[in-house]
Structure 1
Amino acid sequence: MRPAPLDRKLLRDLWRLKWQVLAIALLIVCGVSVAVMAFSAQRALAQAQAAFYADTRFADVFAQARRAPLSRVQALTRIDGVTAVDARIVESGLMDVPGLSRPAVARVISLPQDDDRALNQIRLVRGRMPAPSSRDEVVALNTFLDAANVRLGDRLTTVLEGRSFTFTIVGGALSPEYVYVPASESFMPDDAHQGVFWAPRATVERAAGMTGAFNAVALRLAPGASLPAVLQDVDRILAPYGGLAAQGREDQPSHAFLDAELKELSTSASILPPVFLIIAAALVHLVVSRLVDAEREQIGLLKAFGYRDLEAAQPYLKTAAAIGLVGALGGGLAGALLGAAIVDLYRDYFRFPNLTVEFHWAAFLAAAAVAVGATLAGSISAVRRAAALSPAIAMQPLRPALYRRGLLDRLAPGPSIDQATRMIVRNLERFPVRAGLAVAGLAASLSLLVGVQFMFDSFDRLIDQAYYRIQRWSESVGFAEARSVASAAELGRLPGVLAVEPVRTAGARLKANGRQELTRVVGLTPGAAFDRPLDAQGRPIPLKGRGVVISEALAKRLDLAAGDTVRVEIVQGRGGSASLPVTALARDYSGFTAYIDRRELNRIMGEGDLASGAHMLVAADRRPAFYAAIERTPQIVGSSSRDDTVAAFRQVMIEAFETTMVFYVGFAAAIAFGVAYNTSRIALSERSRDLATLRVLGFGQGECAYILTGELVVLALAAVPLGILGGNALAQGLAVAYSREEVRLPPVITAGSYGAALAAYFAAVALAGVLVARRIWGFDLVSVLKTRE
């Protein structure tokens, strides 16, 4: 069936404008693909999470105690709204793993005796479960086996409560509690040094010396149950047994990190696509307006032959819709590929039995509808002009442009500026709206280039602040139970230890202005050098008497300022509470933290001068001997290395963000190219006759190319300050959007990042300019001068 005449015209126009159409469609591809990618990856994670949680009966409430009798399980079961209670033993110690220089942390957990009623069930992925009667068989977290290169049948040894426990690994499993396993002193994963093991309860009781007791409990709630009321009741029941503050699922570390990732995907899908679609709509407006102006005579002829207004305008509406549709289809394909790539990255960090990505049709259809709507909206003004043209007026030649002395002519009269430059400036002055739209589009591309660069600079600043300026120790250890400061000082006798500083940390609930926050309080020695809060100018903040120093983020959450009073309620050990003055606010990017004199913290807790751990400076060449020594120290159950933490942090950032940043930089460059190419192509279409005339008058090809590309250069340079300001604003917004409770990103952009963004920006603009300017060398002067334009 042969297409209708107007449809044939549409196809010819699309072919003639194919490069401009593709440049605009590329922007739509970027916008639609980000939406499809983000929502597809989000749904893949959410579905994997929901299925795994349901299959393993993931708990709603988690609590810990020092040692509670199993008889208290009945009291927990009777709490209103509680449907299931699973009490277990969880003990930690250090263990030597062949191939690792630093000891790993071993967390040994008792398996439930009744699998049908158990919560947080594990899922075996290799090997077998331990025999119920075995004394040394365990199942290990599969991520640890992979990262530490440990095989089934290997035997490892740890120390639990002063007792050596040697076990054989007979299986690998996944757990809903450890989908994501952050390392101590860091929120980033360190799978090789975080071993989690499950063994029959009798085995763990013997290893930890906890017969007839438990120190960890998980609870399942009925729909509609009051979480705050349940948490309060759990705390009341476990308080006599050294209970820590119970927490809901949203505060469970693995779940909290995964939930934050899901929110970040929504943020990406909400912020970036509108930028691409708005710019695409503006470019459609320019292209269709140019097309209507160039085809006034054809529009008049169509109406003279009886076509109605809407029929005459249809080709231009269909052109806009075709651009949106082509971009949407390309965006759907690109989004599917990017979604698969992102989910592949997630498999390295979030361990689910089944994590597969499916094309998100709803997101694609919604994004495609918005894309087509945006292009149609961009064409409305030009289409209305086409529909309003009467045949008599449309078939008349356009009124010649009115030329007059412009700003440049008044400021620099005479031959001080060459004619080619005057032509560039005059043409920009004639079309200020078009120039403004082009500058806005170019500025948006540069803003995106600058804004996304902040990620790398921000992480560098965070690492420098957290691990080199605030925490300046090289090694940190944690004790099973708080010890006297004198005993902690004995760590200085270990091999390679140059200096030791004891530290006391405790979970606490801070209350002020009708708000409260569960966080940790760090008790430091006044004048400590290895861990010190810093103010906004990077100066150490002294700990003064009974005063407390809190992080800026925590102060904002509690609406506190220096000089205010905060209520500190300790939620572990013997508890204790006090109202303390806030002496200063600390610039701390990692976590909600409060700092206090260690002696004051111990006084509030009603204990002597104790330490829960120590920070140390250890000689680099003696670290193997130091690690071997702490493995033999029963009281040490945790170990962290600053160098290892920073190295793992950087490795994760490279793997996780390098791919994402490549996407975003490519998208931003696509905006710059699309805007620059369409601006130059429209200018060439409008001025081809003028440029051909200049060639006849003796201007060279280079001079004509200068006149054409000079406009683009002026617009690109004019967009730079706006782009830099917009990039800084975008960095501020992204810093807020991507910050989490465990880490806040400082909106920092270095000179090197500005340089990289500007280089990518000018490269995209230059490519577009070259592709258009080279057409001047192919001018057929006779055919160009025969056309009306």
Structure 2
Amino acid sequence: MKPLDRKLLRDLWRLKWQMMAIALLIACGVSVAVMSFSAQRALADAQAAFYADTRFADVFAQAKRAPASRLHDLTRIEGVTAVDVRILEAGLMDVPGLSRPATARLISLPEDEGRGLNRVRLTRGRMPDPKRTDEAVALRTFMDAAGVKLGDRLTAVVEGRAFTFTVVGAVLSPEYVYVPAPESFMPDDAHQAVLWAPRRAVERAAGMSGAFNAVALKLAPGASTAAVLADVDRVLAPYGGRAAYAREDQASHAFLAAELKELSTSASILPPIFLIIAAALVHLTVSRLVDAEREQIGLLKAFGYRDAEAARPYLRMAVAIGLVGAIAGGLVGGTLGAAIVEQYRDYFRFPVLAVRFHWPAFAGASAVAVAATVAGSVAAVRRAAALSPAVAMQPLRPATYRTGLLDRLIRGPAVDQATRVIVRNLERFPIRSLLAMSGLAASLSLLVGTQFLFDSLDRVVDQAYYRTQRWSEAIGFAEPRSIAALGEVSRLPAVIAAEPVRVVAARLHANGREELTRIVGLEPDAMFDRPLDGRDRRVPFKGRGLVLSEALAERVGVAAGDEIRVEVIDGRAPTAVLPVTGLARDYSGFAAYMDRRRLNVLMGEGNLASGAHLQLAADRRPDFYRAIERTPQIVGASSRDETVASWRQAMAEAFRVTVGFYVGFAGAIAFGVAYNTSRIALSERARDLATLRVLGFGEGECAYILIGELAVLALVAIPLGVLGGQALSHGLVAAYSRDEVRLPAVIGLRSYGVSLLAYLGAVAIAGALVARRIWGFDLVAVLKTRD
């Protein structure tokens, strides 16, 4: 082994704990990248394989009742390569073991499986016998959540007809990889029953012989999706056609696409934070080492080593730190990626969801990590290379000690000598202090910026289900019904109060933008659902005006007082230009609100309602559920309490792992910065501290001098970290908000408390590990050591 190689190994072993602390930061950055991209690849590969195997459609549309002869017109649309028409009906279904009836979607199976789109994949049991009308297969997620087994007989009420069937198989479907509940974007698998049966059985249950009401289309590569959507709407318009929509707007696909985007965002935002701090620590460590080994560098050059050879060990040290951190980060990232994918199995149901280590992400992150450590060492390496033997073998010029601003502020007997030493060290090395403080502030920023997610989701729940929507139960009708139906609903068991609601699908046009959304018609004095502004004040309805959610208004670029063109898709599909009379603070998706009676006038229909919001007597809910099961016109029911409970449980499970990662990573930053800062201070001041011991200072006073500087930096970094966390929370809001939920940047006292405890705990542990060395000083050996 060459002498310089032996020197490198000795330096690495002597500084092993400092090197490991820096490598820990690099490992965090690399692991986030590997974790995110590995999970993303697992989801993307599973999605692509499942979509290709099941021929997932590109365009979807629905109608009330279209004759089968229109299939020919749909196939002739330019750009369409395959069309699959089906019957899709909804109703309520009593499931043993569930207090609330499940919403059942009954879908006809294609008569020609080979040409069908959105094909299901059997995972248990068998497919229904096409010759029988009492067999069906069910979505596996529903069966697992509701405890339904193969061979169970269930009854769903569809279009007023009872459809009794035997569950003969469990399937997965590309349309229902993720199944959100009607009143929430979170899944409610136990109450979302999706069933497939032979066409003849569904025709009989729905009373729709020779017709269809759902269509899926496959497009040729390069086909104009917008043109196809317009043509599909034109063909289905005479039959109550609703707006055709592309795969991007399909609920299951949209949620999965948003999750894939979030993983990319995580991999883009967090790793640079770790790598920048690691580069700064490498700079501090290598700079200190070069200053401490000036004499050795001079001797090497005096014995004939060239400048590059003398500086090479320090550059190789930086490379070694980067490689060790990258390898550790790859191992940790692969493990975390597997944990994330395992969690995804509870939400996204694919036949195969395999963990795949993302080698390109690992290679790229490792290359960036090594480059960051090398960049951090360049200045120190250049200084080592530039030293001439004569200059290098001379002692360092003593630091200039003069009275500074802080010295003037701490004059007097009230401040002891140890504190004066701490203040002077901070004042005389401002750049080093600033770098350390910045690293500590970054760790606290990451803690605060990720803890806000819990407060934000609590605000969304409170705003959506306790301030804006204050109903305890919501029901939906199969078709809009006369307001007289509200009286019938009010007489159902357990109903204390009821308010009608009318919901229609519409396209909004403004400023060259288009948005597919829904218009919710409410009573002007409604108490169970009322749009609120940013100060929780009711936004009143004014004439024919629309109240838009702030998110929707931002999407189409309008404000209160502007006009917007509305194309209603339901019913007679009227078109009108309506004023925007107010904006509502709505965190859960994009919606427009309107006076229900004005909405019915716009529709050109009578006094109709498509559903109702209810207040129930809690102790009589089972009676209510049994009653609506016998009411054919009611096809959907949602419970606020169950929705909120499932929301909180799902969020707790989802963020328990994710936020745990971030807290650990932020703690690693705080520990790494604090430990390196303290170790560098100890290495530089070991002789001074030993001298103080000889002069009569105790171990505690010396430890106070050593750790006091770190404590001051940590405390000064707190306000900077809090401000940085607030800025990061706003950035994460912009990055992670989705169409179905927009997160407010809200940080509560609990989150600040948890963040500060984790931050101070990591700093305290690092400081204690270094301070304990004071008690192990060999005074003779330390005082013999030359600077």
Gaps of 5+ in 1: none
Give the structure 2 partner of residue 755 of structure 1.
Answer: 753
**Candidates 381, 394, 397, aligned match of 1:396:** 394
Give the structure 2 partner of residue 561 of structure 1.
Answer: 559
**Candidates 176, 200, 203, aligned match of 2:201:** 203
Residue type of the alignment partner of 2:122? L
Q: 1:543 offset after TM fit, Å?
A: 1.1
Residue type of the alignment partner of 2:619? D
Distance 2:541 2:457 in 1: 28
Residue type of the alignment partner of 1:8? R
What does 1:350-749 align with in structure 2 at a 5 Å threshold? 350-749=348-747
Give the structure 1 partner of residue 267 of structure 2.
Answer: 269
Distance 2:346 2:407 in 1: 63
Deviations 1:542-583 (A, max 9, x none): 111111100001111111111111111101111112111111
CA contact (8 A) 1:408 1:422 kept: no
Deviations 1:490-541 (A, max 9, x none): 2111111110000000000011111110000000011100000000111111
Distance 1:72 1:501 in 2: 39
- Provide TM-score, normalisation by structure 2: 1.00
Residue type of the alignment partner of 1:78? R
Q: 1:416 offset after TM fit, Å?
A: 2.5
Distance 1:409 1:45 in 2: 60
DSSP 3-state at the match of 2:396: coil
DSSP 3-state at the match of 2:750: helix
Q: 1:413 offset after TM fit, Å?
A: 2.1
Give the structure 2 partner of residue 98 of structure 1.
Answer: 96
Q: 1:17 offset after TM fit, Å?
A: 0.3
**Candidates 765, 768, 775, aligned match of 1:770:** 768
**Candidates 300, 307, 310, aligned match of 2:308:** 310
Q: 1:227 offset after TM fit, Å?
A: 0.3
Distance 1:215 1:113 in 2: 16
Distance 1:305 1:249 in 2: 72
Residue type of the alignment partner of 1:213? A
Distance 1:755 1:48 in 2: 40
Distance 2:634 2:341 in 1: 38
Q: 1:726 offset after TM fit, Å?
A: 0.3
Q: Tell me whether 1:73 sits opposite 2:67 in the alignment.
A: no
**Candidates 240, 249, 267, aligned match of 2:238:** 240
DSSP 3-state at the match of 1:19: helix
Give the structure 2 partner of residue 229 of structure 1.
Answer: 227
Distance 1:34 1:449 in 2: 15
Distance 1:519 1:654 in 2: 29
CA contact (8 A) 1:546 1:596 kept: yes
- Provide TM-score, normalisation by structure 1: 0.99
Residue type of the alignment partner of 1:692? A
CA contact (8 A) 1:676 1:765 kept: yes
CA contact (8 A) 1:577 1:605 kept: no
Q: Percent identity?
A: 76
Deviations 1:208-234 (A, max 9, x none): 100000000000000110000000000
Distance 2:493 2:164 in 1: 25
Distance 1:42 1:620 in 2: 43
Q: 1:488 offset after TM fit, Å?
A: 2.0
CA contact (8 A) 1:489 1:502 kept: no
Deviations 1:687-744 (A, max 9, x none): 0100000000000110000000000000001100110000000000001101000110
DSSP 3-state at the match of 2:222: coil
Residue type of the alignment partner of 1:374? A
DSSP 3-state at the match of 1:63: strand
Distance 1:483 1:284 in 2: 71
Deviations 1:732-779 (A, max 9, x none): 000110100011001110011001100000000000000000000000
CA contact (8 A) 2:410 2:420 kept: no
CA contact (8 A) 1:183 1:190 kept: yes
Distance 1:253 1:777 in 2: 64
Q: How many equivalent residue pairs?
A: 787
Q: 1:412 offset after TM fit, Å?
A: 3.1
DSSP 3-state at the match of 1:563: coil
Q: 1:409 offset after TM fit, Å?
A: 2.1
Distance 1:411 1:287 in 2: 31
Deviations 1:317-354 (A, max 9, x none): 01100000000000000011001000000011100001
Distance 2:335 2:410 in 1: 55
Distance 1:237 1:717 in 2: 68
Give the structure 2 partner of residue 325 of structure 1.
Answer: 323
DSSP 3-state at the match of 2:658: helix
Residue type of the alignment partner of 2:244? A
Distance 2:557 2:127 in 1: 51
Distance 1:717 1:407 in 2: 20
Distance 1:306 1:592 in 2: 73
CA contact (8 A) 1:183 1:189 kept: yes
Give the structure 2 partner of residue 130 of structure 1.
Answer: 128
Distance 1:412 1:301 in 2: 43
Q: 1:268 offset after TM fit, Å?
A: 0.4
Residue type of the alignment partner of 1:647? A
DSSP 3-state at the match of 2:722: helix
Distance 2:46 2:411 in 1: 71
Deviations 1:223-259 (A, max 9, x none): 1100000000000110111111000000000000000
Residue type of the alignment partner of 2:709? E
**Candidates 192, 211, 225, aligned match of 2:190:** 192
Residue type of the alignment partner of 2:45? Q
Q: 1:72 offset after TM fit, Å?
A: 0.4
CA contact (8 A) 1:489 1:501 kept: no
Distance 2:407 2:322 in 1: 42
Distance 2:679 2:259 in 1: 42
Deviations 1:41-60 (A, max 9, x none): 00010000000000000000
Distance 1:18 1:90 in 2: 66
Distance 1:709 1:208 in 2: 77
DSSP 3-state at the match of 2:413: helix
Give the structure 1 partner of residue 87 of structure 2.
Answer: 89
Residue type of the alignment partner of 1:173? V
DSSP 3-state at the match of 1:129: coil
Q: 1:486 offset after TM fit, Å?
A: 1.5
DSSP 3-state at the match of 1:733: helix
Residue type of the alignment partner of 1:14? L
Q: 1:455 offset after TM fit, Å?
A: 0.7
Gaps of 5+ in 2: none
Distance 1:653 1:416 in 2: 53
Give the structure 1 partner of residue 139 of structure 2.
Answer: 141
Distance 1:270 1:787 in 2: 46
Distance 1:622 1:412 in 2: 72
Distance 1:306 1:430 in 2: 37
Deviations 1:263-319 (A, max 9, x none): 000000000000000000000000000000000000000000000011000000011
Residue type of the alignment partner of 1:170? V
CA contact (8 A) 2:406 2:427 kept: no
Which stretch of the first structure deviates more once superposed, 316-325 or 480-489?
A: 480-489
Deviations 1:471-501 (A, max 9, x none): 0000000000000112123211111111000
Distance 1:489 1:249 in 2: 40
Distance 1:741 1:383 in 2: 51
DSSP 3-state at the match of 1:427: helix
